[in-house]
Structure 1
Amino acid sequence: MHRRTKIAALSAALLLTAGAAGSAAASPEARGAGGQREAAALTGTAKLYRPAGDDITFTFDAHLAAADTMDPEAATGTFGFRHVYPDGTSGWAEARVDCLVTGGKVAVVTGVVTDTDTPFKGKRVGVSVHDDGKRDRLGYSWIGSEPEETKKLPKCMSAAPFEKVRSGTGDFRVLPWQPQYPEAG
């Protein structure tokens, strides 16, 4: 009987620990080292809505540590996209984050493309996200007419989030940036 009580207590403790860990991982206010809230974050995956049948997926895992609150160019992480056209041809890219700025439910992330089968290799690209909780939106820097081969996109820049995300696919999560300014004297 004593053994059963120990097993039951251990099982309950494990369930409580797993539940707490799951709740912490799902929290919109991600915690970094030492339990401190990150300065900003953009995470998640979604497919764009395209009535012609294109399959376009964007994925984000971008973070700005609390220690870097006043330096959005210290952001780390990756983001990527894959575009499969209706005829079966495709293009994809993965980028290393070099800037992340968020405000409310909107985020702008830029990064240099590290791996791709597109002309973006070695180029900075930017993506914007609006996490509205119902139907997210997304924008990207390559919407303009300037050729990617000559474009010099600055850090932290992208087009407004003009594209609709396919219903049921958006799970973007934007953690708002809260810059800390010195008090006026």
Structure 2
Amino acid sequence: MNRRAKIAVLGAALLLTTGATAAAVDDEPREAATAAGGKLRHTASAATADGGTREAAALTGTAKLYRSAGDDITFSFDAHLSAKHKDDPMKATGTFEWSHYLDGEGARAKAKVDCLVTGGKVAVVSGVVTDTDLPGAKGTRVGITVHDLGRRDRLGYSWATTEGLGPKDLPKCVGSAPFEKVRKGTGNFTVVPWHPAL
């Protein structure tokens, strides 16, 4: 191999190594400890626009589900896990709500978040129903799974195979596979991936 070819091969190898290293760093949580007044300060894996520490996980957005019969089904999420609680997904806060109507009949419900776990573009959130016009549903824990695929988001829910919203003893952060598709042009769910200290 001549000298010019060797330089080209080494340059390509260096670029590949640099790219792989950068990708690995972006995928893993970056923690740096610095001494400040005798205390250690940790920085999270990403920073907010104002220079603050980003939240540990989040699920936000609204979308309508697709149904061939024309059902009007809407899900909205505002669920967050703060940086200071990054090792405890059951400290998540926020709400999520949904409604399902067809030919003027249906119901709506709102739940208070009690757990949020995310991985990559998938989130599982659970909460207890606090406000609803569905008889017998208040106080029931439900879980929802979201797959953030841009305009092709998907969603699944814990009551997919049960009657009503039950069971009342559903564990926290349990949902179903995201089998539902969002209606074209409505998907704007956003998942912030969780990077727990493992």
Matched, 1:89 2:99: no
User: Superposed, which structure 2 residues align to 1:5-154 within 5 Å?
Assistant: 31=48, 35-85=52-102, 87-118=103-134, 119-145=136-162, 148=165, 150-154=167-171
C-alpha separation between the residues in 2 aligned to 1:147 and 1:30? 41
Bigger radius of gyration among the two: 2
C-alpha separation between the residues in 2 aligned to 1:90 and 1:137? 22
Q: How many corresponding residue pairs?
A: 152
Which amino acid in structure 2 is aligned with residue 35 of structure 1? G
Identity percentage over the alignment? 66
C-alpha separation between the residues in 1 aligned to 2:106 and 2:164? 19
Structure 1 pair 121–178 and aligned structure 2 pair: CA distance change class (3 A): same
C-alpha separation between the residues in 1 aligned to 2:71 and 2:54? 38
| TM-score of the two chains, using structure 1 as the length reference | 0.77
Work out whether residues 138 and 164 of structure 1, in 8 Å CA contact, stay in contact via their aligned partners in 2: yes
Supply the RMSD in Å over aligned alpha carbons: 1.9
Q: CA deviation at 1:152?
A: 1.3
5+ residue gaps, structure 1, are: 1-28
1:9 alignment partner in structure 2:
none
Structure 1 pair 174–91 and aligned structure 2 pair: CA distance change class (3 A): same
For residues 60-102 of structure 1, what are the alpha-carbon distances to aligned partners after superposition, in whole Å with 9 as ceiling and x for unaligned? 00000000011000000000001111x2112000000000000
Which amino acid in structure 2 is aligned with residue 83 of structure 1? H
Work out whether residues 99 and 110 of structure 1, in 8 Å CA contact, stay in contact via their aligned partners in 2: yes
Matched, 1:177 2:177: no
C-alpha separation between the residues in 2 aligned to 1:56 and 1:161? 15
Which amino acid in structure 2 is aligned with residue 135 of structure 1? R
Determine helix, strand or coil for the equivalent of 1:84. strand
| TM-score of the two chains, using structure 2 as the length reference | 0.72
Q: CA deviation at 1:44?
A: 0.1
Which amino acid in structure 1 is aligned with residue 174 of structure 2? M
Structure 1 pair 129–171 and aligned structure 2 pair: CA distance change class (3 A): same
